[in-house]
Amino acid sequence: MVPPATSVESPRSTVVAVPLTTVPVGAVAKLHEVTDVDSRPVLRSLGLTDDCVLRLCQVGDPCIVQVKSTRIGLSNAVARCLYVVPEAGNR
């Protein structure tokens, strides 16, 4: 089941945060929220902190994201708990 998109209030406009699993490969996005509380500390220690900019390098289960120079493999169970706001200009 695909997790739902969630509305996020931002100073400029209302943007929509979507699960990482719904973002196309190559997309750059800002991390909005991690709904899996258990995984949050480990993700944070790898650089996946609030508002960090990430790039989706490979889709599927597992997928690969890149934060700065760190590439991280994530199983689908984790990726669908990462809600991101895609940046404008993504393919």
Partner 1 sequence: MVPAVETLDRAPSSSAAPVRRIALIGNPNTGKTTLFNALCGVRAKTSNFPGTTTAMRTGHAEAPGHVTLDVLDLPGVYDLEIDAPESRIAAALLEGARGPAPDAVVVIVDACNLARNLVLVGQLLVRRVRMVVALNMVDLAERRGLSIDAPALEARLGVPVVPMVARTGRGLPALREALERVHPGGPGSGAEAPAAAAVSRWADEAAAVVSSETASAHAHDRFTERLDGVLTHPVFGLAAFIAIMGTLFWILFALATVPMDLIEATFAEMGTLVERLLPEGPVRDLVAQGIVGGIAGTVVFLPQICLLFFLITLLEDTGYLARAAFVMDRWLSRFGLPGHAFVPLLTAHACALPGIMSTRLIPDLRDRLTTILVAPFMSCSARLPVYVLLTTLLFADRPGLAGLAFAGCYLLGALAALFTAKLFGSTILKGRAKPMILELPSYKTPSLRNALLTARDQGLSFLSTAGTVIVAICIVMWWLSAYPKVDAPPEAARLRAAAEAPALPNDQAAALLAEADALEVKTAQAGSFAGRIGHTLAPAFEPLGFDWQLTVGVLTSFLAREVFVSTMSVLAAGQAATDVDEGVVAKIRAMTRDDGRPVFTPATAASALVFFVLAMQCLPTLTVTRKETGGLKYAALQLGYMSGLAYAAAFVLYQSLRAAGVA
Among 3, 6, 8, 62, binds partner 1 (CB under 8 A): 62
Amino acid found at 58: Q
For position 18 contacting partner 1 by CB under 8 A, the verdict is: no
Between CA 88 and CA 8 the distance in angstroms is: 15
For position 35 contacting partner 1 by CB under 8 A, the verdict is: no
Among 10, 24, 42, 90, binds partner 1 (CB under 8 A): 42
Please report how close the Cβ of residue 88 comes to partner 1 at its closest, in angstroms. Answer: 14
* Extended beta strands in the chain, E state: 6-9, 14-19, 28-34, 53-58, 63-67, 70-74, 82-86
Amino acid found at 50: D
| Interacting residues toward partner 1 by CB under 8 A | 28, 38-39, 41-47, 49, 53-55, 57-58, 60-62, 64, 66-78
